[in-house]
């Protein structure tokens, strides 16, 4: 799904940042039907919101979970909090942090940029989405 799309190079030629890669790719593979205007909402989340705070792959993944599993407003669907916690906990367990700065220090290279971080987020998101869609069907 999303991980495979990104493994095949999605986001590189398009020159997408980490958050855009997750949201734009998820839009394709999960059939989110987001408009180009909506996709641009991820633009400022790359680089940990440009201040090396929470990694853009996580903020974009939250957008995806919200789109898929919150039909109206979050307060009516408290399970979104559990899915969010699961995403953050799994990512931190695998990567050692959720913040951009330490992730860049540990994983970013000039050649690959943050591809390993993006791929791990896509893998975790794929697992959560697949399980939840199966549960809801």
Give the pLDDT score at 18.
98
Q: Which domain holds residue 33?
A: 2-136
Q: At what angle do helices 115-136 and 18-29 cross, to 10 degrees?
A: 30
Quote the pLDDT of residue 2.
98
Average confidence (pLDDT) over 73-77: 93
Please give the Cα distance from 49 to 108 (Å, whole number).
17
pLDDT at 72: 94
For residue 108, name the pLDDT band (cuts at 50, 70, 90). Answer: very high
Mean pLDDT (the chain) is 97
Whether the Cβ atoms of residue 34 and residue 52 lie closer than 8 Å to each other: no
Distance separating alpha carbons of residues 61 and 106, to the nearest angstrom: 21
pLDDT value at residue 87: 98
Q: How many CB atoms lie within 10 A of CB 106?
A: 12
* The total number of structural domains that make up the chain: 1
**pLDDT tens figures, 15-60:** 999 999 999 999 999 999 999 999 999 999 999 999 999 999 999 9
Q: How far apart are CA 50 and CA 80, in angstroms?
A: 25
Residue 100, pLDDT score: 98
What is the pTM for the complete model shown?
A: 0.97
């Amino acid at each position: 799904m999303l991980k495979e799309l990104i493994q095949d190079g999605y986001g590189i030629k398009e020159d997408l940042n980490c958050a855009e890669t997750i949201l734009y790719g998820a839009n394709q593979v999960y059939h989110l039907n987001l408009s180009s205007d909506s996709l641009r909402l991820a633009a400022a989340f790359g680089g940990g919101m440009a201040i090396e705070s929470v990694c853009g792959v996580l903020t974009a993944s939250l957008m995806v979970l919200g789109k898929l599993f919150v039909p109206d407003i979050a307060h009516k669907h408290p399970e979104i909090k559990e899915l969010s916690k699961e995403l953050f906990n799994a990512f931190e367990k695998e990567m050692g942090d959720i913040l951009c700065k330490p992730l860049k220090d540990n994983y970013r290279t000039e050649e690959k940029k943050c591809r390993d971080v993006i791929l791990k987020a896509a893998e975790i998101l794929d697992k959560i989405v697949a399980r939840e869609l199966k549960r809801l069907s």
